[in-house]
Amino acid sequence: MKKKFDFTGYKELVDMQNCGKIRFADANYFKLVRYRTSVGEQLIYNRKEDYYSIINKYLNKTLTLVEFRTQFLDMEEEDMEKGYSILGNIQELEVFYLVEDLEKFSRLFGKISDLCEDYYIIEPMPETEFYDFVKEDFHQLQENFPFKNSSNLE
């Protein structure tokens, strides 16, 4: 089920920010960040089949760890950038919809994203451990957010 993006609420916060009425780390600042993030997360949700395909290729050892991380993070960056573009387009934003359970999807998706981003930054974990975490998180994603062609995935 989908809900319409709260364009009016977002616009009010942007206007407040433009007038200097929003300070860093106040409640309205975090609301504005959440609005902005939700658009990019919805775009990721819309392409979940593509993400699932990349994850599945990694889990089936068709992609190396480096190839998986690169492709996954590149796609995520593309979607977030496109989200910022949509935020600047009033006509697109006024008709933008979000899925009801976007926060749950984003939480599960974010676990894999965090693994990919942090793999070399924080203390490197053995690839087998990384693989197991991805597999576990992917299973939860598939279970909670299946798509039509999920029979093609492990």
Average pLDDT over residues 53-67: 97
Residues 118 and 115: their CA atoms lie apart, in Å, by 5
User: Residue 33 sits in which domain range?
Assistant: 2-152
Average pLDDT over residues 99-114: 95
Residue 154, pLDDT > 70, answer: no
Domain count, the chain: 1
DSSP-derived secondary structure for 45-106 = HHTHHHHHHHHHHHHTTSS-HHHHHHHHHHHHHHHHHHHHHHHT-HHHHHT-EEETTHHHHH
pLDDT, tens digit, 9 for 90 and up, residues 5-32: 999 999 999 999 999 999 998 999 999 9
Query: 93 versus 121: which is more confidently predicted?
Result: 93
Residue 106, pLDDT > 50, answer: yes
Residue 149, pLDDT > 60, answer: no
Q: How confident is the model at residue 1 (pLDDT cuts 50, 70, 90)?
A: confident
Q: What is the mean pLDDT of the chain?
A: 91
Query: 17 versus 148: which is more confidently predicted?
Result: 17
> What proportion of the chain, given as a percentage, has pLDDT over 70?
94
Are 29 and 23 in contact, with CB atoms under 8 Å apart?
yes
Residue 124: predicted pLDDT: 75
